[in-house]
Amino acid sequence: MTSATPAPRVADDADAVARPDGALLRTIGTWGLAASIVNVTIGGGIFRLPASPEIAGRLGAAAPLAYVACAIVMGLIVLCIAEAGSRVSMTGGPYAYVEVTFGRYVGFLVGVMLWLLGCTAMPAVAGVFADTVARFFPAVGTAAGRALFLAAIFGAVATINVIGVRQGTRLNAVLTVAKLAPLLLLLVAGLFAVSGANFRVTQPVSGGDLSRASVFLIFAFAGVESALMPSGEVRDPARTVPRAVFLAMGLVTLLYIGLQVVAQGVLGDSLVGDATPLATAAGRIFGPWGATMLSLGFIISAFGYLSGMTLAVPRALFAFGRDRILPRQLASVHPRFHTPWIAIIVQSAIGWTLSVTSGFEGLAIIANVSAALVYLGCAAAAWKLRRSSPIGAEGAGMRVPGGAVAPPLAALALLFLLASVTLKEWSVLAAVVVVASLLYFVATRNASARDRAVE
């Protein structure tokens, strides 16, 4: 670092004393954070994605290539997130990484993209969750029954996470094991039932189709950025964050590729368009009880996903309130439980409202583009932090192997994937940015006026 380039302010525990983060308890360790990442990443998507027309329909027998391509991009992104996360311990995750590196406004835009992703994904998975439960309990299929059921679910996960982050991470760990068990059973047994004929590629794969399928898969891999929002409650983040990220994403990548291979190898041409491809594959391998097992696995997975996102996403509201971009009350920490309880309640209310009134399909690609833009911000932050925030004796961070080349490579890969996004999809995202920017500048102007009045 040269003397002409000031180092960005990287928050540590001493700095947190003067901020609301200082009231949060650092109780999340490596395994707890890794379980949270796996839990949030493996939500409802993998139970449907293998049969998606955007993946199996576009690429056919070459569909596993999209997972490999997306996994390579995510691997580069993970390197960036691990290095940036080892240096910035503030609650907010990628929003905080970018904020301390490029300033409040750029950090705010990344936070908006991150929050938009969470707000889109939570009600979407909750809606599919309710539809699946309705197969076993028809009363949930009515409008009133659905609304009451979703209110109970959002209320339950909100209560658990308000009571304490330790309880939330424990629930995440239990649900992660519960959701992985049927998926791993299907993976192991399914590998012995696949047919090699279902992997014969009959036509070349175009770069455009691979790009579109890979950007669609970002939603399946997204989660690490949301799970890292409670960074202000992680023990020894310089070591815990990189270890947890590598452990969790390695497991997720292997599992996703394996499940795509099993679903494709077992179902063949009938895979495309199947609403429940993993359950259908399990039914062919194990019989009717296998399909039931995977349906119950989805219910557990969806509940775990909602619990994990309720632990993570409200921290964005907390960070906005902490920085006085949104009302300060959102940064309130419960005096007894030491959790951002108002942010959790507000986020759960928003999630319930959208799950009752909206569907996911229209916003799915916007969520994926939002995630890609968040990752671009993380890559830029990691590159600048590595150059301007040297590691000192106090343990300001760690140099992740490959961290020097990961940011530019991740940026190039993300730009390649984003090239498949249509003008209409970009216009929707641009509208969100404009509205968010107006809110930001109004809020900061009001804050400046209040400061002048106080002076």
For residue 4, being part of any structural domain is answered with no
Closest to 122 measured CA to CA, from 380, 441, 407, 348: 348
For residue 393, being part of any structural domain is answered with yes
Distances (CA, A) of 238 to 89, 294, 400: 8, 38, 11
Does pLDDT of 12 surpass 50?
A: no
Does pLDDT of 239 surpass 80?
A: no
Confidence class for position 344, pLDDT limits 50, 70, 90:
very high
Does pLDDT of 154 surpass 90?
A: yes
For residue 141, being part of any structural domain is answered with yes
C-beta separation of 285 from 267 below 8 A: no
Per-residue pLDDT at 147:
94
Per-residue pLDDT at 141:
83
Per-residue pLDDT at 13:
36
For residue 454, being part of any structural domain is answered with no
How far apart (Å, rounded) are the C-alpha atoms in residues 378 and 83?
10
Does pLDDT of 101 surpass 60?
A: yes
Could you read off the pLDDT of 352-367 as tens digits, one per residue? 998 888 765 666 677 7
Calculate the CA 136 to chain-centre distance.
Answer: 29
For residue 420, being part of any structural domain is answered with yes
Per-residue pLDDT at 31:
73
For residue 7, being part of any structural domain is answered with no
Per-residue pLDDT at 402:
62
Q: What is the CATH number of the domain that holds 336?
A: 1.20.1740.10
Name the phi and psi angles at 8, rounded to 5.
-65, 150
Does pLDDT of 170 surpass 50?
A: yes
pTM comes to 0.71
Of residues 263 and 13, more confidently modeled: 263
Confidence class for position 11, pLDDT limits 50, 70, 90:
very low
How far apart (Å, rounded) are the C-alpha atoms in residues 421 and 212?
8
What's the rounded mean pLDDT across residues 205-229? Answer: 73
Confidence class for position 90, pLDDT limits 50, 70, 90:
low
What total number of domains does the chain contain? 1
Task: Give percent of the chain above pLDDT 90.
Answer: 8
For residue 3, being part of any structural domain is answered with no
Does pLDDT of 374 surpass 50?
A: yes
Give the residue numbers spanning the domain of 261: 13-447
| Average pLDDT of the chain, as a whole number | 77
For residue 440, being part of any structural domain is answered with yes
Task: Give percent of the chain above pLDDT 70.
Answer: 78
Per-residue pLDDT at 345:
93
